[in-house]
Amino acid sequence: MASMIARSARIATVTGIRHVARIGAISATTTTTTTTARLARPSSAMNKTATRFFSVSRIARDDQPRLRLGSTAPNFKAETTEGAIDFHEFIGDSWTILFSHPADFTPVCTTELGAFAKLQPEFAARNTKLIGLSANGLESHADWIKDIEEVSTGGTKFNFPIIADADRKVAYLYDMVDHQDLANVDKAGVAFTIRSVFIIDPNKKIRLTLAYPASTGRNTAEVLRVLDSLQTGDKAGVTTPINWVPGEDVIVPPSVSDEAAAAKFGEFKAVKPYLRFTKYPEQILKK
């Protein structure tokens, strides 16, 4: 009887570990049997327990939504270098690019912010706002901007807001912390922010997410290229192939019949029944 009870307990423990692994609450290899049993409770109890293990974040699991393409971008209020904002009000009827930085006065991020500042007119021409985020306060941001203007903008004045997120509330809201950074904390015990990019459309939907390692600078041309692709696709009802840039041929979606494609785009080239190219829809985009 004792051996049967012990075997049942082992099965229950393994089942609980698998359940926890599926929901991503905590790695099974770092829990005890007692902890696993607690985390396998119904969701309300599980969330309270998970909060203890992620106390470094100071944010409950329920406050960190799972963000996917098509998710509504979480709203928040924050102080920025250009004043207080409500994020959804800031977006308004524009596209918005939100990108984060682990700290002020970091070398890679200094070059990135300068590059985005130089391209800001291109984004503005596409009805797109830029907004950065860094895990420091406004005074630090102001001093950092002076450095950015000196070394990275080529004389261009810094021209978009940076969110002051010293307590990482926005960073956690947007899941801008990677696995390693849960243990990589500052003096206050708060995890550092990773370098993420979000493209958000006027409907407040997330259309692109990117996460970069600390060693690799972002590619502003690629962010602009994806924005062009999204806006072209939304307006003209097309998709874009590998390495596409504006002016090049686009793809007719498989959901569009040959007859409908001919009526809408005129000529098209069918490489395969599911792969049809047509000219850049300049006239449609001008409407």
User: Which DSSP symbol is given to 248?
Assistant: S
Catalytic annotation present for 177:
no
Cα 266–Cα 235–Cα 258 angle in degrees, nearest 5: 30
3-class DSSP state for residue 200?
strand
| Catalytic-labelled residue, pool 50, 73, 97, 109 | 109
**pTM given for the model:** 0.74
Residue predicted with more confidence, 237 or 184? 237
The string of pLDDT tens digits covering residues 88-114 is 999 999 999 999 988 888 888 999 999
193-235 tens-digit pLDDT: 578 999 999 999 999 999 988 788 899 999 999 999 999 999 9
* 8 A C-beta contact, residue 102 and residue 71: no
CA 134, CA 269: separation in Å to the nearest integer? Answer: 47
Question: Which residue type occupies 128?
Answer: T
Instruction: Work out the pLDDT band at 144, boundaries 50, 70, 90.
Output: very high
- Enter the DSSP assignment of 161: -
